Structure 1
């Protein structure tokens, strides 16, 4: 580990493939040397290079490894608890190593109770020489998906549990949504069939616009149910702040 620390200190500029790894208690920067492996977990040096969850006995002393080979950093879970990656992807000790893409990747080590320990990983790409502070730069606005007024009302009705930020929210049924819309807009003829047709239109349009979650059936891999696609739609709209809690005033 002294050799690894020396290598990390010797990097004055982050060349492509350089790995930056950070936890709550520290961070390291490692050059892309073929065959090099760094380890993270609850243990101490020289067993691990990056301490994670030092006070949590659910975290293994050597919980994960990152190895540089074939011009990429490969992540492997070596601990007893799962490792969670973006989009809910999970890694077990039996999971094949996963290559890290250039840029930022957060991972979470499952700990005691509801605890999850964050490890931030950043791999420098060819077009980005390193982590450049941008403290004075303007904040990028979230991507808001275009919705017509009647579409927004419908989605607020069906997704009201999502807008309350409840745990494990699910969409309102079309039957209940139609009953509520009949009270809110009695002249608009909201039926279950019209709701289904409108939701399908929105899903197809946003899917073609690059929505981050699946919105249409995949005939080759097996289609998820319409309810799961609707869940994806509402989840993405809420996460992007296209739908926000004040929208609930539409149904008050």
Structure 2
């Protein structure tokens, strides 16, 4: 997809641009990109512009959690403070960084120069707000470095069965649907039974497979055990697991082919 360059200090990102995990438009280092349900904003570091986000689309620059009344109309904003972009939570619900770090209402947090998925933690689901800050271009490397194989992220090892179940469970994320949530156990079992009719899939069996993966990863990843999450749990554990697998490229879009009959 060809992406347009920013025409000024502040520019609108169309919904069709997709996830900020993909290639960015040309931008100077420190440029802020924010993507919500229906598109986003791109702001240069010297623009003097605050990006406001929340559920009331007419009152904010980036819409998130549009259909969830638990999300504040103007839930927060991102502003430039000296040399850093800073997140301010002015809503009632906490905003979660990857893992278990929470920014509570009335608090602030500096954003890293990287891709950062932020989650507004509502009672029944979490709402994704993608943030990415453009990094400085790396210094030129010696010519022979171009021959070195690309280093992939440190992926988690999954068995074929675990991968199938997790792709089924997290397919809405892989399809980049707005505000995705994991399938229910019953939905996952129905689809697995359709794909593998001879394997007698049930909701309990699907849950056992995913629980084993969560326990295995929990020694190095926060937010995958019940005792780490305040009630009500809802889909939080599965959401955290899927997010970790996406961030490490353990699950990628091409895995959706596993769901073809």
TM-score (norm 1): 0.52
Q: Given the alignment, which residue of 154, 177, 190 partners 2:201? A: 190
**3-state secondary structure, aligned to 2:239:** helix
- Where in structure 2 are the equivalents of 1:59-208 lying within 5 Å? 63-66=79-82, 87=98, 94-95=106-107, 105=113, 133=139, 135-136=141-142, 137=145, 138=148, 139-208=150-219
Q: For the residues of structure 2 that align with 1:165 and 1:56, how far apart are their CA atoms?
A: 23
SS in 2 for 1:51: coil
The Cα shift of 1:99 comes to: 7.7
Name the CA shift for 1:133/1:200 in 2 (closer, same or farther; >3 Å). same
**Number of matched residues?**
177
Aligned with 1:246 (options 214, 238, 254): 254
Instruction: Name the residue aligned to 1:30.
Output: none
Map Cα deviations across residues 88-142 of structure 1 (whole Å, 9 max, x no partner): 96688x536x589xxx54599xxxxxxx9976699xxxxxxxx973645554321
CA distance in 1, matches of 2:81, 2:246: 34
Q: Which residue of 2 aligns with 1:23?
A: 30
Listed as ranges, the gaps of 5+ residues in structure 1 are 1-21, 26-40, 43-49, 68-73, 109-115, 123-130
Deviation at 1:250, TM superposition (A): 1.4
Q: How many Å separate the matches in 1 of 2:192 and 2:81?
A: 53
Distance 1:118 1:190 in 2: 39
Q: Does 1:214 align with 2:223?
A: yes
Q: Answer yes or no: is the 8 Å Cα contact 1:204–1:215 preserved in 2.
A: yes
Contact in 1 for aligned 2:170/2:181 (Cα 8 Å): yes
Q: CA RMSD in A?
A: 4.6
Query: Equivalents in 1 of 2:253, 2:209: separation in Å?
Result: 22
| Matches of 2:81 and 2:141, distance apart in 1 | 32
